[in-house]
Structure 1
């Protein structure tokens, strides 16, 4: 669905402050020959960093597959596996993930789309502990200057799409992600002014009680 490339990327595309992401195919070639000890150490560092993020609030800037750009505020509660992307006016879009489902509302079209969280790469980000092994396969890893990119898929359903997590190095810090959906379309999202402590997240933020059509 086009919507999931839009969010699918609550993600990032090919550019990220200070670095250029490698094409997905190139990243997969990198990992096809096996990860080095240094790569494994980087992945372990990524796991520890994500484990330390229980809640996050940030401004975001998003580029959709067709090049359209939008911005808004994101709330991510990994402890309870829920998320809200509130787009700034005049955008009619709202995305809420909660109760193992992702709900996307377009008030202009008067349309709501619901999808199981486990059917989208987005669901991986909301795991309280994202383990980069087992049912998650790392298909790409690149470290270029101060930018670290880690691409992952679900091991048993890689066709559902991939998610590339983007980090700023020294110190390691999540900057956003790219999601490529099942139709090979990507959306880019940059996280700005992120806060990971002292964030108020009332349950009402994550209500999925949106009109169904």
Structure 2
């Protein structure tokens, strides 16, 4: 890309799908073969939970690789494959996903960047039905008390990086995600004050016709 983009936005729009680091293909296969029936049942439970989320609104806290934190409000409309991440002032960032595209605007740099949705982590998060198999490979599954983390990579390009979905368990609730690129640069997004369902926000909220410069 020609534009320089802050790490806060790259966490959502610019990094390839991935998790902690590139995992050897053999390790991925070993996990897939050795996964227990309990793990398979848990992954199905996660799929059903995500399927049930058609509309989500939350506050978010984003932690960049350098430790800098930004906050804002997120709208995730999985039924229509669209999203808006509106960063709190004084951040100049705005990210909108719609029409199979992700549009990132930095008003301070006076720049707008557009990329295909399926080339970003949002492509997975916004799938109306996310299957943790096929073109997505689960490379990690961990529990720590009431925390459940599931790491996935693109099956055909695991070296690109990874995406770790963060859940509360009992009851199951998506609470954020961690993205780590091939250089092991890690960015975390925590969802706070989560509300699901409710009235559909206006279509204008997901307008991708942002200023081009």
What TM-score results when the alignment is normalised by the length of structure 2?
0.86
Alpha carbons 1:83, 1:206 under 8 Å: kept: yes
Instruction: Give me the whole-angstrom Cα distance separating, in 2, the residues matched to 1:170 and 1:26.
Output: 30
Relative to structure 1, the CA distance from residue 76 to residue 167 in structure 2 (aligned partners, 3 Å threshold; closer, same or farther) is same
Q: Is the 8 A contact 2:163 2:180 kept in 1?
A: yes
Q: Distance in 2 between matches of 1:40 and 1:4?
A: 38
After TM superposition, list the pairs within 5 Å mapping 1:172-191 onto structure 2.
Answer: 172-191=172-191
Superposition map of 1:58-137 within 5 A: 58-137=58-137
Displacement after TM superposition at 1:54 (Å): 0.3
Structure 1: 5+ residue stretches without partners: 12-22
Match of 1:19 in 2: none
Q: Is the 8 A contact 1:8 1:178 kept in 2?
A: no
Mapped to 2, the partners of 1:187 and 1:98 lie a distance apart of: 23
2:8 maps to which residue? Answer: 6
- In structure 2, relative to structure 1, the CA distance for the partners of 1:177 and 1:199 (3 Å cut) is farther
Q: What is the CA-CA distance between 1:72 and the residue it aligns to?
A: 0.4
Pairs aligned (count): 202
Alignment partner, residue 208 of structure 1: 208
Shift, 1:184, TM fit: 3.2
Shift of the 139–128 alpha-carbon distance from structure 1 to 2, 3 Å rule, reads same
Q: Please name the residue that 1:14 is paired with.
A: none
Q: Secondary structure at the match of 1:49?
A: helix
* 1:139-163 Cα shifts (integer Å, max 9, x gaps): 1111111000011112123244321
- Structure 1 length normalisation: TM-score? 0.86
Q: CA RMSD in A?
A: 2.5
Displacement of 1:43: 0.4
Task: From the superposition, tell whether residues 212 and 153 of structure 1 become closer, same or farther in structure 2 (CA, over 3 Å).
Answer: same
**1:199 shift after superposition:** 3.7
